[in-house]
Every structure is written in structure tokens, then in C-alpha cells.
Amino acid sequence: MREHAGRLEGVVDQIDVAKDAATQATISGTTAYGILCSPLLLPLMGSVEAMGHTAISTARTVVNATAEGIVGMADTYDAVEAAVIKGVETIEKALDGIR
């Protein structure tokens, strides 16, 4: 489980790279579409760009939360396993005293 969480943390890193790239490749001004097309296309493309940024941020949040949840599950499994082992050892000691 921890290995899988590590892979997901790698995906979070990749999403961070995508977020940085999206931030650097912003659509603004008249350079992308020229002076005539910019008034028509910038509002449309700006909203598409904003939705893209939101999607990237949401993906990062979800994948990061999943990785943290998996680490938490692994911690819980370890704690339960330790408690079971301790219980079995206690039973074994009690049974040894009966013999």
C-alpha cells in the first residue's frame, strides 16, 4: 500500500509540473490572436483556460488526498496487526502457564 501511495505522490509531482506549464502558457494580450481576433477569442479562451487551471488543481487535490488516505490505511493496518500479534503472544503465554 505504501508503494502505491508513493506512486500516487509521483503523479502529484507530475500534476505540479502540468500546473506550472499551464501557468506559464497563459493566454493574454493580443499576441496569441492578433488585434482583430483578440476581442472575440480572448473571453472564450480565457474561460476555457480558467477551467483547465481548475481541473488541474482539482486533480492534484484528489490524487494527493488519495495518497494520504492510502498511507493512513497502511498505518491503521500496521497498528491492527501489532495489536493482533500482541494479543496472540498474550494468549500463548497464558497457555504456556497452563501446561
| pLDDT of the residue at 92 | 94
| pLDDT of the residue at 34 | 66
Is the pLDDT confidence value at 75 over 80?
yes
* Entry pTM: 0.76
pLDDT tens across 14-65, in order?
999 999 998 887 766 556 666 767 777 777 778 888 999 999 999 999 999 9
> What SS3 string covers the chain?
CHHHHHHHHHHHHHHHHHHHHHHHCCCCCCCCCHHHHHHHHHHHHHHHHHHHHHHHHHHHHHHHHHHHHHHHHHHHHHHHHHHHHHHHHHHHHHHHHHC
